[in-house]
Structure 1
Amino acid sequence: MTTRWLTPEEQRAWRAYLAASLLLEDAIDRQLQQDAGMPHLYYSILANLSDAPEHRLRMTDLAERSKITRSRLTYAVTRLEKDGLVRREGCPSDRRGSIAALTEAGVAVLERTAPGHVETVRAAVFDHLSEEQVGQLEEISTVIARALHGDGARPASEDLPWRRRSAPSCS
């Protein structure tokens, strides 16, 4: 098999992407640590629960939405539970399954932290892009995510983080 090396243009684009994504993640993490005492991952878990019906999701679905392994999610939810921001509930249709639910304290943390988070994202990304570039960013990101997730033309990888360990289903 012949290695398909990156062209100079692709190499520049790749390095620019890496630099931007690492710097952005650092900026978001710093803001969330300062405002809420939590990393971006924990905030994302709370936000995903906030967007869900009744602020509840099966742990397997929450892992998929958060794009992390189930074991990493379990660790994060345990920490969020200790802080009173999330609670685990049993699954009515499967005793082995569990559901993560956002508590009132979790909602309050999101309400208090969201304005600073949005301002950080806006200042780091959207204030520097034209309307056309925002559309291009969405298009490019969607294409990459579909390719990695499985786009219908080929199946999604079984090595996706949330699929790395079997878990019981729960409705």
Structure 2
Amino acid sequence: MAKALNPEQLRTYFALMESVTLLQHAVERQLRADGGISYVQFQLLARLAQARQLTMTELADGVVYSRSGLTHQAKLLEQAGLITRTGCPDDQRATMVTITDAGLALIQRLMPGHIEVVRDLMFDAMSDRDLHALAEIMTRARDHMRAQPPRSATIRRRRTAD
């Protein structure tokens, strides 16, 4: 049986999860109002805006999203003219995703409002010292979690009928 979290661990866990949920909800509202896209779609476009082109697996691992969910989101973004998907010349199993000029323009248009929401809700409440400490802690936590195999490498189990 797993050891219970102590009161400080429990308080920290719930504060983190509530903060993430509140921030994500506000960001989602801003992105839908200003650009008509979801937070997941924004994450995909933002990653592609930096790299210009990635494989579907790289995108799924980068945004921590299921392969089937990513395929659905990519289809929506492609239908909107924000990305293109093509076969990979080096690996027939891979699909390359490229951001279009329209996708880049959308990210550039959304970024000021996105930054405003994040700054207002998160960073304005912190001193420079707080920010440095949080960055160190969250980087360590993320790196620890990322040391596990990526979701794309996880073997999927089939559901059995009961």
TM-score normalised by length of structure 2: 0.90
Structure 1 segment 87-166 matched on structure 2, within 5 A: 87-150=84-147, 156-157=148-149, 160-164=150-154
Identity of aligned residues (%): 35
1:50 aligns with 2:40: no
Paired position in structure 2 for 1:86: 83
Structure 2 stretches of 5 or more lacking a match? Answer: 157-162
1:10 aligns with 2:9: yes
In 2, Cα distance between equivalents of 1:142 and 1:50: 22
Distance apart, 1:131 and its partner CA: 0.4
Distance apart, 1:49 and its partner CA: 0.4
Paired position in structure 2 for 1:41: 40
TM-score normalised by length of structure 1: 0.86
In 1, Cα distance between equivalents of 2:39 and 2:134: 21
Distance apart, 1:142 and its partner CA: 1.1
* Matched residue SS, 1:96: coil
Runs of 4+ in 1 over 2 A off after TM superposition: 160-166
- CA-based RMSD of the aligned residues comes to 1.5
More off after superposition, 66-75 vs 108-117: 66-75
Distance apart, 1:165 and its partner CA: 6.0
* Matched residue SS, 1:100: strand
> Which residue identity lines up with residue 55 of structure 2 in the other structure?
R
Structure 1 stretches of 5 or more lacking a match? Answer: 151-155, 167-171
* Matched residue SS, 2:94: strand
In 2, Cα distance between equivalents of 1:32 and 1:93: 35
Contact 1:28 1:121 in 2 (8 A): yes
Q: What per-residue deviation string (whole Å, max 9, x for no partner) do you get for residues 16-71 of structure 1?
A: 1111111111011011010111111100100000110xx11111111111111222
